[in-house]
């Protein structure tokens, strides 16, 4: 009988992927001077929450790791939705992402005040910054969330 593989390496890989996505976002913001919009910031929060959950799960008992993996998977699916909505907004310029209603509440969160470089809204969702390696920023984010979802889904399936 083959022993079940542990989920902890997958959680560490997922956390690393999310941290790399956040680092890429900071690079684009600081070096390439791309101002993050409300949907960008929401996606950053999702990546950060997934990373935190996965790191906690990786260093806690197996039962907690499974719960953390499930919660991170749900967040990743939420990230797919947020990135998908962002892509839709960019494809339909007459649509708004809600800068007015979202900017003030997002910038008032304690994390936006503690880490303004990472979590402060400064841009518009419809600003066209072009592509990076053929994809727009929301498309790269969607790809990241899909990859995270697949890693977690495979790890959870192996646990069953």
Domains, the chain, in order of start with CATH, read 8-144 (1.20.1550.10)
Give, in order, the Cα–Cα distances in Å from 137 to each of 20, 87, 128, 129, 130: 14, 9, 10, 8, 9
DSSP assignment letter at 136? -
d(CA 7, CA 144): 19
Q: Which residue has the higher pLDDT, 120 or 77?
A: 77
- Residue 81 has a pLDDT of 95
Least confident of 6-10, 116-120, 126-130: 126-130
pLDDT in tens, 81-98: 999 999 988 888 777 665
Q: Which residue has the higher pLDDT, 98 or 7?
A: 7
- Residue 94 has a pLDDT of 75
DSSP assignment letter at 4? P
Average of per-residue pLDDT values in the chain: 85
Say if residues 40 and 79 touch (Cβ distance below 8 Å). Answer: no
Q: How far does the chain reach from its first CA to its final CA, in angstroms? A: 14
Residue 102 has pLDDT above 60, yes or no: no
- Residue 5 has a pLDDT of 56
Residue 104 has pLDDT above 80, yes or no: no
Say if residues 128 and 87 touch (Cβ distance below 8 Å). Answer: no
Residue 64 has pLDDT above 70, yes or no: yes
Write down the residue that tokens 């959680």 correspond to: 11
Burial class for 101, CB neighbours closer than 10 Å (0-12, 13-18, 19+): exposed
Residue 1 — very low, low, confident or very high, per pLDDT cuts 50/70/90?
A: very low
Angle between helices 38-59 and 8-30 (to 10 degrees): 150
What is the dihedral sign for C-alpha 11, 70, 114, 33? positive
């Amino acid at each position: 009988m083959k022993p079940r593989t542990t989920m902890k390496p997958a959680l560490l890989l997922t956390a690393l992927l999310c941290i790399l996505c956040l680092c890429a976002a900071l690079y684009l913001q600081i070096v390439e001077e791309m101002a993050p919009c409300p949907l960008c910031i929401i996606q950053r929060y999702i990546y950060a929450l997934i990373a935190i959950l996965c790191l906690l799960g990786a260093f806690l008992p197996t039962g907690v790791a499974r719960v953390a993996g499930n919660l991170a998977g749900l967040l990743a699916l939420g990230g797919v939705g947020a990135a998908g909505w962002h892509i839709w907004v960019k494809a339909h310029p007459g649509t708004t992402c809600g800068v007015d209603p979202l900017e003030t509440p997002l910038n008032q969160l304690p994390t936006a005040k503690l880490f303004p470089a990472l979590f402060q809204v400064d841009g518009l969702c419809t600003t066209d910054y072009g592509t990076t390696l053929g994809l727009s920023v929301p498309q790269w984010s969607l790809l990241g969330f899909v990859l995270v979802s697949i890693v977690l889904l495979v790890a959870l399936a192996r646990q069953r």
